[in-house]
Amino acid sequence: MHIAGMIAIGIGVLFLFLGSFGIVRLPDVYNRLQAGTKCTTFGCLFAVLGVGIVEPAWFWKALLVSLFVLLTNPISNHALGRAAKKSGVPLWDGSVVDKSRDFPSYANTEKL
Amino acid sequence: MRILISCVLLVILSLGLVFALEQAPFGSNQIDNADKPGRFYLNQGMEKTGAANVVTSVVVTYRGFDTLGEVTILFIAAIGLGAVFHSRKKVKRYEKEKQSASLILQTGCRFLFPLIVLFGTYVFIHGHLSPGGGFQGGVIIASAFLLLFLGCEEKKIPMKSMNTVESLAGIIFVGIGLAGLYWGESFLENFLPRGMDYMLLSGGVIPIIYIAIGFKVGAELAGIVAGLIERNP
C-alpha cells in the first residue's frame, strides 16, 4: 500500500515537472496553457491520490481535493485561453490549425 | 558553454539545498527541538486556551491585539481603495467592449460558487481545530466572489449588505474584546466556558472571533475586487 502510494506520488511529481518544463520551453501562450493545465491536473491528481493511498484515513478528503482540481483547473485554463484569443494574442508561427476561425464570435480578433 | 555553467550552478544549488535541509528535523518531535518560548506555547497553549491548533491559540489569544491591528490595516486599505475609486464619475466607455463569459465558465461558476463558499466557511469555523482560520477562510470566500464576478455577470452582488456584514463583524470582534475586559481581566480574555477539547464547540471565544474575522476578511476582499472590476481600466 505504502509503495503503491509512493509510486503514484512519483508519477504525479514527474508530470508536474514535465508541466513546468513545458511552460519554460513551449513557444506561445496556447501551448504553454496546455502544458500548464494538462500536466498539472494529472500531476496534482496523482500526487493527492497518492497521499490518500499512503494515509488511508485521508483517502476521502484526498478524493474530494482531486475532484475539485479536476473541476476547477480546466475551467480556469479555458477562461485564460479564451481571454487570450479574444484579446488578440497571436498564435505561434509554426501552428498548423486554428479552429477558432470557424466561429463568428472570434472573427474580429485576428488583426489586433 | 552556457549549458555547462548552468549545469554546474544547478548541481551547486541542489547540493546546498541538500546540506541545508539535512539539518532540519523532519518527522521528529518538534517540542524537544523548540527553543524556550516555543516550547512554552506548544506545551501550555492547548491547556490554557483550549484550541487544538497552536497557531490559532497564539494568533487569537496570546497576540489577539495584533490580530485586531491586522484586521484594521485591511479595513483601512479597503477604505482607501474605495475612496480612490469613488472619487470620479462612473466611466461608461468600456461597456461596449465587455463580452459575456463563455458557457463553460458560467456553468462552472454556478456549480462551484456554493462549494467554494462552503469550503471557506469550513476553514474558518474549524480554525481552532485544524490548519486554517479566519484570514484563510475569508480569502477563499473572496475568491468565490471573484469567480462570480468573472462568470455570472448578471448576478449583482449587494455591496451595501456586504459593507454591513463587514462592519458588524468588526464590531463583534471589538465587542468580544471589551467583554473580556468586563468579565475577565484583560482585553480579549476568554470569558466563555472552554468546552470539550478537540470538539467544534471548544476554546471559548476563539471560534467566535475567527468566524467574525472570516466574515470581515471575506467581505472586505470581495469589496476590493468589486471596486477594481467596476473601474475596469
Compute the distance between CA of residue B152 and CA of residue B106 in angstroms, rounded to an integer: 6
The CA–CA distances, whole Å, from B207 to B96, B132, B152, B213 equal 46, 12, 32, 10
B160-181 in b/e burial notation, b at 16+ Cβ within 10 A? Answer: eebeebbeebbebbeebbebbe
Best A24, A75, A106 member to test B by mutation, with max B CBs in 10 Å, is A75
Q: What is the pLDDT of residues B81-102, one digit of tens each?
A: 888 877 555 555 555 556 777 8
Check B112 against A71: CB less than 8 A apart. Answer: yes
Note whether A79 contacts B: Cβ–Cβ < 8 A.
yes
CA distance B131 to chain A (A): 14
Pair A69, A44: CB distance under 8 Å: yes
Q: What is the pLDDT of residues B172-191, one digit of tens each?
A: 998 988 888 888 888 888 88
User: In the predicted model, is pLDDT for residue B123 greater than 50?
Assistant: yes
| Domain regions of chain B by residue span | 31-86+101-231
Compute the distance between CA of residue B173 and CA of residue B178 in angstroms, rounded to an integer: 9
Which of B105, B112, B115 is facing A79, going by the closest CB pair?
A: B105
Check B150 against A72: CB less than 8 A apart. Answer: no
pLDDT given at position A60: 93
Pair A91, A28: CB distance under 8 Å: yes
CA distance A108 to chain B (A): 12
Q: Is the complex ipTM more than 0.85?
A: no
Neighbours of A13 (CB within 10 A): 14
Compute the distance between CA of residue B66 and CA of residue B24 in angstroms, rounded to an integer: 30
| pLDDT band for position B133 (cuts 50, 70, 90) | confident
Report which of B129, B120, B133, B149 is spatially closest to residue A68, judged by C-alpha positions: B120
Note whether B102 contacts A: Cβ–Cβ < 8 A.
yes
Report which of A68, A21, A78, A75 is spatially closest to residue A45, judged by C-alpha positions: A68
